[in-house]
Structure 1
Amino acid sequence: MKQLRPYPQAIVSRKAARSLKAGHPWVFEGEVLELRPSPLDGREATNGCAIDLFEERGTWQGVGLLSLKSKIRVRVVSRNANDRLDAAFWWRKLRWAWGHRKATMGSRALAGCEPDTNCCRLLFSEADAFPGLVVDRYEDVLVAQVGTVGMELLRPTLFPLLALVLEEDGVRVRGIYERSDSPARLKEGLEPRKGWYDFSAPGAVDPLAIEVSGGALDGCLAREPQDARLVVHENGLAFDLDIENSQKTGFFLDQKYNRRAVRQVSGGRRVLDCFCHVGPFGLNAAAGGAEFVRCVDVSQTALDLAAQNARLNGLDVNADGTPRMGFTQADVLAYLPELARDKARLRAEGGPFDLVVLDPPAFTKSRRTIDHAMRGYRQINQDAMRMLPRGGYLATCSCSHFMSRERLAQAIAEAAHGAGVQLRQVEERQQAPDHPILWGVPETHYLDFFIFQLV
C-alpha cells in the first residue's frame, strides 16, 4: 500500500488472509501475529478502535474494529483502502442498508396493508458490515442490540444518524430502545444494558454526526423515555409487543414472508401452532381463513400476549361466539407425543389438526451439540407427522446456522421415514431479505423453512 493510513495495524497470519480474501469478515485471536501503532501519529491499538489489517508479507487486507477481550479479535467493516471510518462513512453505510430494505421489501406489501418496511430489520450485523449491531424497526420505534465493543463505542455516531436516515424518508423516530442484555456481551468485556437511549445525555450524540447532517439532527431525536409496550402492524395484523421483556428485540421479523406462506394454505383448516411466541403464525393462519387455531408455548407471558393479539385483531372468536383460537401453556416436546397418543386430549385441544406449524427455538448454538439437535428436530417433526392425516400440511423450520439446510432436510426425511409417510414439498424458504445472507459468511444464513403436504 502506497498511502499511509491513520490507524494502528494488525499483522495477521496467512490463514487469516486467505479467509479474508474469501469474504469472511473475522480474524480470530490466534491469527493476529502482532499489533503495531499508527504509522502517522504513533497511536497504539485500543479496545474497540479501527485497525488496519496486513498479511504478514505486507498486503493490506481491510480495516476493521478491534476487540481485545474477544476470541474474534477483529471484525472487518471495509475492504476499500480509500475509506476513512468517520461519521460520513457510517452515514453512507446506513443509507445503503436502509436503501436495501426499501428495494427488496418496499413493493411487496399485501393489498391494503402497511408497507413491509413498516416493521423490518434495519441492520443485520455482519451482513450489513455493522458487526455486532442489530437494529429492528417497529414503526416509529427502533430496538437495538449492541454486542461488540466497536459498535458500543460508535453508538453516539450511529444512533443519531440512523434516526436521520429515516427522517429523510418522513419517518420520525420516537426513540431507540436498547436490548443489549445478551450474555454474549460479557465475551467483549461489556456489561448487559437495557433501556431507552438518552439522546440528551452528555456524549450521546457525536458532534461529527451533527456536522455530517448539516445540523438536521436536532429535530428528529426523541429525548424522553417512551412506553416499552407497542402496538405495531405486520401483514395487515396488529401486534401488542413488549420490547422490554420479550425475547430478542420483541418479535421475530425474519419470518414475515414465511407467515404469509402459512396463511395461504390455512383456509378451512384446523391449525396447531407450536412454539407460537406471541402468535404471529397462528394469527396469520386465522386471517387466512383457518377454521380453528390452537397456539402452544411454554411461556405463559408469550401466550398472554398471543391471546391479546387475537382479541386485538378480532380473531379470537367466531361470529356465533365459539372460539376461533385457543391457547395452551405446555412444553411442546412433551405435548406433541401426548396428542399423538391420546385422541381424547387431541379432540379437547381442537383437533384433529390438518396443518401443524413448528417454529422451535434454536436447538443448537454450537457445533458440539449438532447431533443432539438433529435428534430433537427429527422427533418433533415425526410427532407432528404422526398426528396429521394424509393430505395434511406441515410447516417446519430451524433458526440455527449450525443446523444447515442439508442437516435439517436430513432430519425431516428421517422423521418422515419413522412416521411412515411420504412428503410432497410445497415451498422451501429462508429468512426475509431484511436479514440478508452474505455469501462466504455462513453465520448469516440461519433460517430454513419448509412447507410439506403428507401424501
Structure 2
Amino acid sequence: MPDGIVKLKKGEGRVLKSGGMWVFDNEIDAITGDFEDGDIVEVHDFDGYYMGVGFINRKSKITVRIMSRKKGQEIDEQFIEKRVRNAIEYREKTVDMSSCRIIFGEADFLPGIVVDKFSDVLVVESLALGIDRFKLIIIDKIKMVLKEMNINIRGVYERSDAKVRTLEGMERMKGFIGEEFDTKVEIIENGIKYFVDVQDGQKTGFFLDQKYNRAAIKPMCKGAKVLDCFTHTGSFALNAGMGGAKSVLGVDASELGIAQARENAEVNGLSDVVKFECADVFELLPQLENDGEKFDLIILDPPAFTKSRNSIKNAVKGYKEINLRAMKLINDGGFLATCSCSHFMDTELFTKTIAEAARNVHKRLRQIEFRTQAPDHPILWSADESLYLKFYIFQVCDEM
C-alpha cells in the first residue's frame, strides 16, 4: 500500500480533476509519510478527498504521475499485466502490428514509458523514475502477451538516453536488456522495406507515428517532381517513389540518416528515382528558389522546433520560414504536406502560422486533409501532451 500522501492546495489540481495524470510541484500543499522518490503515494485534494494513486519524484516538476484513480488499487505485477494486455488488444484492433508503438505512456495509462516494436525487436524508452522500477516487468508482460498471439520477440534494446531523464534526477541509459542481437532491424511499412538502426537512430530508431500520413501522400505523387525535407531515413521520399513520382529529392542534415536513406532506397529498387542530399533545409530552400527550381509536391517533416513554452516564438518563426519558402517553390496547383511534432505548437497556432506564410507569398491553400499521429500513438482526451503531431496536406494555388 502507498506509504505517503500528497495533499493539494485549495483550488489546484486542475489537470488531474479534468482527467489528466500529472500533479505539478506548485500544486502541492503538503507531502507526508515515509517513502522514497519513485514510491507509490496517494493524492488527496485540500479537503482530504481521494484523487488517485501514483509514483512520486520530488526532483521533478511533475511530482506525481497517476497510475490509477481507484481507491485501494495495488500497483503490482497483476496491475501491470492488465495495463499491457489492454494496450496490445487495442493495437490488435486498430493498427498493423508488424511494427508499431506498443506502449505510449500516459495514453496507455503507464505514464513515462514508451515501447516500440520493430518486427521482432522491442525498443524501450523510460523517462520517469517511478515507471523505471516497473520497466522489466512491463517488458516481460509485453513478451508474454505477444507470445500468446504467436508473436515472438528476439531482443530488447533500451533507448532511455533522452535529456529529459536528467530532469527526473536519472542517468541517461542505452544498451541491451537481455541477450545482444543485431541492432540493424528490417521492417516493412506500407509495403516498403526499411532498415531501422535501433542503437544509434533518432529516438527509438524510426518514426512510426507518421505511418498512415506517409501513405496519404501517394495519390499526389504519380509523375510528380517531389522534395522531401527533413527526410530522416527517407520514409516520405520512398513512399513518393512507390507512388510513381518522376523524381524525388530527400534532404536531411544528418549524414547517418542520409546514409541509411540511400540504403533503404536501394533495397526497394528506387535508387534511380529517389535521391538524397545532406544539407541544412533552411539554407537549401532559398538556394533552390534562386536556382529557379520548382516542385509538384513538397513534404515538410521537421523535428520539434520547441520542447518548451519558453521557445515558442522562435519555433513559430522557424515553421513560418520553411512553409513560406516551400510554397514559393511549388508549381501552381501543386501540393504541400506539412507537419509539426511539437506538443507546444498546438493545432490553432500551427494553422495560424501556415496561413500567415501563405498570405505573405500570395498563395491560396486548399486543404485536402488534416491528420494526426497513427492510432498506435493514441490521443487521450484530457492528457493534452498525448496530442502532438499535426499533419496537413494542401493544394497550393497562385492568387486569382
The one-letter amino acid of 1:98's match is: I
How far off its partner does 1:263 sit?
A: 1.6
Pair 1:328 & 2:277 matched: yes
Pair 1:136 & 2:119 matched: no
Secondary structure of 2:200's aligned partner? coil
Q: What is the match of residue 174 of structure 2?
A: 194
Q: What is the match of residue 86 of structure 2?
A: 96
Deviations 1:18-44 (A, max 9, x none): 43121121111222222233xxxxxx1
The one-letter amino acid of 1:447's match is: L
Check whether the contact 1:270–1:291 (CA below 8 A) recurs between aligned residues: yes
Structure exhibiting the larger radius of gyration computed from Cα positions: 1
Check whether the contact 1:179–1:244 (CA below 8 A) recurs between aligned residues: yes
Pair 1:421 & 2:378 matched: no
The one-letter amino acid of 2:194's match is: F
Pair 1:389 & 2:311 matched: no
Within 5 Å, which residues of 2 pair with 1:38-437?
Answer: 44-105=34-95, 116-198=96-178, 224-317=179-272, 324-343=273-292, 346=293, 352-437=294-379
Q: Which moved more, 1:435-444 or 1:287-296?
A: 435-444
CA distance in 2, matches of 1:104, 1:390: 37
Deviations 1:14-69 (A, max 9, x none): 333343121121111222222233xxxxxx12111111111121100001111121
CA distance in 2, matches of 1:137, 1:337: 39
Check whether the contact 2:119–2:185 (CA below 8 A) recurs between aligned residues: no
Deviations 1:212-238 (A, max 9, x none): xxxxxxxxxxxx211111111111111
Identity of aligned residues (%): 44
List alignment gaps of at least 5 residues for structure 2.
none
List alignment gaps of at least 5 residues for structure 1.
38-43, 106-115, 199-223, 318-323, 347-351
CA distance in 1, matches of 2:189, 2:9: 47
Pair 1:20 & 2:16 matched: yes
CA distance in 2, matches of 1:286, 1:239: 14
Deviations 1:150-182 (A, max 9, x none): 111112321111111111111111111000111
Check whether the contact 2:8–2:27 (CA below 8 A) recurs between aligned residues: yes
Check whether the contact 1:9–1:45 (CA below 8 A) recurs between aligned residues: no
**Selected match of 2:381 from 439, 447, 453:** 439
How far off its partner does 1:78 sit?
A: 0.8
How far off its partner does 1:10 sit?
A: 1.4
CA distance in 2, matches of 1:130, 1:101: 15
The one-letter amino acid of 1:271's match is: V
CA distance in 2, matches of 1:363, 1:167: 39
CA distance in 2, matches of 1:412, 1:83: 46
CA distance in 2, matches of 1:63, 1:168: 30
The one-letter amino acid of 2:48's match is: G
How far off its partner does 1:82 sit?
A: 4.5
How far off its partner does 1:339 sit?
A: 0.5
Runs of 4+ in 1 over 6 A off after TM superposition: none
Tell me the TM-score normalised to structure 2 length: 0.97
Tell me the TM-score normalised to structure 1 length: 0.85
Secondary structure of 1:328's aligned partner? strand
The one-letter amino acid of 2:259's match is: D
CA distance in 2, matches of 1:442, 1:19: 9
How many residues are treated as equivalent by the alignment? Answer: 397
CA distance in 1, matches of 2:231, 2:319: 16
How far off its partner does 1:75 sit?
A: 0.4
RMSD over aligned Cα atoms: 1.2
Q: Which moved more, 1:325-334 or 1:79-88?
A: 79-88
Residues 326 and 6 (structure 1), Cα distance of their counterparts in 2 relative to 1, 3 Å cut: closer
How far off its partner does 1:373 sit?
A: 1.1
Deviations 1:231-283 (A, max 9, x none): 11111111011111110000000000100001222111111000000000000
CA distance in 1, matches of 2:318, 2:280: 13
How far off its partner does 1:342 sit?
A: 1.6
How far off its partner does 1:419 sit?
A: 1.3
CA distance in 2, matches of 1:262, 1:6: 50
Secondary structure of 1:391's aligned partner? strand
Secondary structure of 2:251's aligned partner? strand
Check whether the contact 1:17–1:61 (CA below 8 A) recurs between aligned residues: no
CA distance in 1, matches of 2:108, 2:53: 15
Q: What is the match of residue 202 of structure 1?
A: none
Pick the structure with more strand per residue: 2
The one-letter amino acid of 2:388's match is: Y
How far off its partner does 1:6 sit?
A: 4.6
CA distance in 2, matches of 1:430, 1:274: 19
Deviations 1:268-312 (A, max 9, x none): 111100000000000001111111110100111100100000001
CA distance in 2, matches of 1:14, 1:162: 40
Secondary structure of 2:185's aligned partner? strand
The one-letter amino acid of 1:33's match is: D
